[in-house]
């Protein structure tokens, strides 16, 4: 197979890239190791920044998002049994977030690509990228029990945190910066109307909890757990009892419902620098991971491919490669800002094993400051809705 841009991975990064390129007449093939049903059902992120929503709408894939997405103008921070609202829109000149499931974004993008004649190969797992030294990249992949090849001008590795794109870069050509947090999240999707209108980030004696949602009838909730926990050690009763305890506040009642999905997510931070090697470009989780506390991973992935698409359009149009050469530097400014914000939110909202009462009291002071100082609240708000410039 032959194409202009070979894209590995049909997550948000790969699909948005393919969509943006097609709008400028650039051909791509997306290789995805899973089947269509699997990627359309995989429950992950839910918070879209203003900029992400604007891009999806402006490029013609925002119709359902506009109808079904829940626009939120604030979030709640809850601690010491009290609720504090961070007025996102008021603090950011009217910007907001939209709650809309990642798998819905993925569904909309797949439908749009296929309707426009785009090529997405499902159950096609990339195994490696050759020809990088010769500037003639070839993606080797397995499909239907056979090894196949995709020849292209450039490769975009949008294959997530465990992809093969990054492994195709010679050791020594990139550096990895990472840190792990000694906490994880157990997330559930429950068939029950949300008990809150806005997201609640709660810090309690027992640890962190988050009340989010997907629709007026589906709630998404998380509790801090240990990274080595097994979902089996979290039967439904334990999940609900921890959620009740950690979200407790006078006058607040948490409604329970059947649990439709349950999973554990590690909290870690990783940045790959640079995010490119010759004609291979890394985008999204393939290049960086952020802990979910800041709700940033999907948004960062979309930002990368917006920059990559612009650079590729310029290269194909005029032969100029300065934007492509500057791709990594252009992305990394936002990547590191978001890393810091996500790390800060994670530190502020979790209890860590072995920490002292001193740490706990510092955290409470930080939370009180964020909720009482307009300057501090604005810092949280402008990062949370997504900074316009970094």
As a whole number of angstroms, the distance between CA 280 and CA 338 comes to 23
Nearer to ligand FAD, 74 or 362 (CB): 74
Which residues from 99-118 bind ligand FAD, rule CB under 6 A?
102
Q: Which stretch binds ligand PHB (CB under 6 A): 8-16, 40-48, 168-176, 371-379?
A: 40-48
Site string for ligand FAD, 334-353 (x = CB under 6 A): --------------------
Q: Which stretch binds ligand PHB (CB under 6 A): 150-158, 165-173, 190-198, 288-296?
A: 288-296
284 binds ligand FAD (CB under 6 A): yes
Place of tokens 């530190």: 347
Cβ atoms of residues 223 and 209 within 8 Å:
yes
Which residue among 13, 21, 45, 381 contacts ligand PHB (CB under 6 A)? 45
The residues, any chain, with a CB within 8 Å of residue 381's CB and separated by 6 or more, are 86, 87, 88, 91, 92
198 binds ligand FAD (CB under 6 A): no
CB of 384 to ligand PHB, least distance (A): 9
Q: Which stretch binds ligand FAD (CB under 6 A): 38-46, 176-184, 233-241, 313-321?
A: 38-46
Which residue among 292, 311, 335, 385 contacts ligand PHB (CB under 6 A)? 292
* Number of Cβ within a 10 Å radius of residue 379: 15
Q: Which stretch binds ligand FAD (CB under 6 A): 175-183, 194-202, 248-256, 297-305?
A: 297-305
- Name the DSSP class of 31: E
Q: Pick the closest to residue 209 from 193, 191, 192, 196 (CA basis).
A: 196
In three-state secondary structure terms, 49 is coil
Q: Which token pair is 385? A: 């809705």
For helices 327-349 and 297-318, give the axis angle rounded to 10 degrees: 180
The residues, any chain, with a CB within 8 Å of residue 176's CB and separated by 6 or more, are 270, 271, 272, 273
Number of residues that bind ligand PHB (CB under 6 A): 10
Site string for ligand PHB, 211-250 (x = CB under 6 A): -x-------x------------------------------
Q: Which token pair is 273? A: 């620098």
* Number of Cβ within a 10 Å radius of residue 389: 5
Place of tokens 């940033």: 296
* Number of Cβ within a 10 Å radius of residue 228: 10
297 binds ligand FAD (CB under 6 A): yes
As a whole number of angstroms, the distance between CA 89 and CA 97 comes to 9
As a whole number of angstroms, the distance between CA 365 and CA 374 comes to 15
Nearer to ligand PHB, 1 or 193 (CB): 193
Report CA torsion sign: 304, 42, 195, 210: negative
Which residues from 187-216 bind ligand PHB, rule CB under 6 A?
199, 210, 212
Q: Which stretch binds ligand PHB (CB under 6 A): 32-40, 49-57, 263-271, 292-300?
A: 292-300
Q: Which stretch binds ligand PHB (CB under 6 A): 42-50, 141-149, 168-176, 302-310?
A: 42-50
- Residues forming contacts to ligand FAD in the complex (CB under 6 A) are 8-14, 31-34, 39, 44-47, 102, 125-126, 158-160, 163-164, 187, 265, 284-285, 292, 295-299, 301
- Residues forming contacts to ligand PHB in the complex (CB under 6 A) are 45-47, 199, 210, 212, 220, 292-293, 295
């Amino acid at each position: 197979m032959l194409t202009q841009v070979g894209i590995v991975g049909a997550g948000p990064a790969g699909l948005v890239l393919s969509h943006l390129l097609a709008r400028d007449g650039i051909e791509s093939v997306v290789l995805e190791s899973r089947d269509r049903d699997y990627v359309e059902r995989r429950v992950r992120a839910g918070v879209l920044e203003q900029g992400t929503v604007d891009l999806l709408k402006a490029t013609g894939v925002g119709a359902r998002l506009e109808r079904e997405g829940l626009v939120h103008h604030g979030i709640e921070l809850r601690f010491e049994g009290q609720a504090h609202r961070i007025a996102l829109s008021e603090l950011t000149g009217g910007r907001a977030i939209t709650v809309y499931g990642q798998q819905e974004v993925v569904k909309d993008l797949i439908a749009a690509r296929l309707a426009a004649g785009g090529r997405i190969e499902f159950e096609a797992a990339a195994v490696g990228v050759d020809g990088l030294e010769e500037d003639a990249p070839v993606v080797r992949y397995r499909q239907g029990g056979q090894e196949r090849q995709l020849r292209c001008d450039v490769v975009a590795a949008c294959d997530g945190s465990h992809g093969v794109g990054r492994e195709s870069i010679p050791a020594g050509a990139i550096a990895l910066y990472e840190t792990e947090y000694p906490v994880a999240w157990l997330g559930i999707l429950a068939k029950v109307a949300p008990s809150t209108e806005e997201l609640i980030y709660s810090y309690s004696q027992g640890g962190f909890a988050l009340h989010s949602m997907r629709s007026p009838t589906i709630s998404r909730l998380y509790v801090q757990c240990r990274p080595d926990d097994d979902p089996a050690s979290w039967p439904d009763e334990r999940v609900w009892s921890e959620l009740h305890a950690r979200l407790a506040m006078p006058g607040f009642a948490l409604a329970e419902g059947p649990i439709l999905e349950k999973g554990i997510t590690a909290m870690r931070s990783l940045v790959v620098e640079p995010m490119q090697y010759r004609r291979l470009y890394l985008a999204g989780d393939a290049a960086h991971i952020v802990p979910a506390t800041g709700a940033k991973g999907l948004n960062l992935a979309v930002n990368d491919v917006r920059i990559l698409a612009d650079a590729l359009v310029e290269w194909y149009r005029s032969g100029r490669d300065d934007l492509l050469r500057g791709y990594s530097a252009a992305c990394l400014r936002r990547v590191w800002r978001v890393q810091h914000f996500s790390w800060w939110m994670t530190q502020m909202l979790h209890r860590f094993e072995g920490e002292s009462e001193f740490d706990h009291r510092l955290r409470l002071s930080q939370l009180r400051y964020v909720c009482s100082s307009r300057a501090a609240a604005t810092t949280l708000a402008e990062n949370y809705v997504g900074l316009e410039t970094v």
